[in-house]
A and B are shown apart, each in its own frame.
Chain A
């Protein structure tokens, strides 16, 4: 099994707020991330797929296809969006980096044909990232 990782970048804004919490609880738990007007990040996405190296092409997966799928399914959807307001999946789910990694996994999993999705890593900043491997 060989693992291949492709990076992409997108920029988006978000706000952390749970309507079941009081305003005080929201501020205590989420701090400045609770600002209702949102704040933004330059996200870096790393998608890792795994598979056997094709004997003829020498590829695990055609990078052009992977890049196109990532662009179509993730980057074009999320780039320059306010995640809470513009992405239906985050209407009732807080767009934390954890939930963003899970959401991106769900967008990509069924779209990859040649190789199996292994890991989605989302960097919110260079010093903070989340890995999701599709675990329940």
Chain B
């Protein structure tokens, strides 16, 4: 039987939304307060959903210890308490939560081998959330 397991993790990071291809006025227009040159921060919540058959021997889609160790090593250690703009992933890409969500999905999709990655959902604040489940239409 196929089930979907979701685990939520937390990290805190700062970012500044600024596009080099836009004028100063365009940046202010597009990003508002998020364009503050000194940046600002969020407590991000990341929900990772994996899907698969429930293993009859363990009752699990995926051992949580495997998921926790992967996310801790590949995501939390990399992003927690960092300025996203300084990371290699965001040198040519504005670190919006849309782009962060796509990036986190890519890390899981390319590296996690214990279950199929179904979806990543990122909450930037309690009022904003973003989901990505793969597919070619992520960016245009």
Which A residues fall within an 8 A CB radius of B? Answer: 16, 18, 20-21, 29-31, 93-99, 101-102, 126-133, 135-136
Q: Which of the residues A16, A21, A95, A135 comes within 8 Å of B2, measured between beta carbons?
A: A135
Which B residues touch A97, using CB under 8 A?
A: 5
**B81 an interface residue at 8 Å Cβ cutoff?**
no
Which B residues touch A129, using CB under 8 A?
A: 5-6
Extra pairs beyond A95-B59, A128-B6, A132-B1 (16, CB < 8 Å): A18-B58, A21-B57, A31-B65, A93-B59, A94-B59, A97-B5, A98-B3, A98-B54, A98-B59, A98-B60, A99-B54, A128-B5, A130-B5, A135-B1, A135-B2, A135-B3
**Is B5 a contact partner of A98 (Cβ separation < 8 A)?**
yes
Which A residues touch B63, using CB under 8 A?
A: 29
Which A residues touch B64, using CB under 8 A?
A: 128
Which B residues fall within an 8 A CB radius of A? Answer: 1-9, 54, 57-61, 63-65
Rounded to whole angstroms, the CA-CA distance of A135 and B4 in the bound complex is 10
Q: Across the A-B interface, give the 7 residue pairs with the lowest CB-CB distance, nearest first.
A: A94-B59, A96-B59, A127-B8, A135-B2, A131-B4, A98-B54, A98-B3
10 contacts between A and B (CB under 8 A): A93-B59, A94-B58, A94-B59, A96-B54, A96-B60, A98-B3, A98-B54, A101-B3, A131-B4, A135-B2
Rounded to whole angstroms, the CA-CA distance of A108 and B54 in the bound complex is 20
Rounded to whole angstroms, the CA-CA distance of A21 and B59 in the bound complex is 13
Q: Which of the residues A96, A126, A132 comes within 8 Å of B58, measured between beta carbons?
A: A96
Residue of A whose beta carbon sits closest to that of B55: A98
Which A residues touch B60, using CB under 8 A?
A: 96, 98
Given A20-B57, A31-B65, answer yes or no on A126-B1 (Cβ-Cβ < 8 Å): no
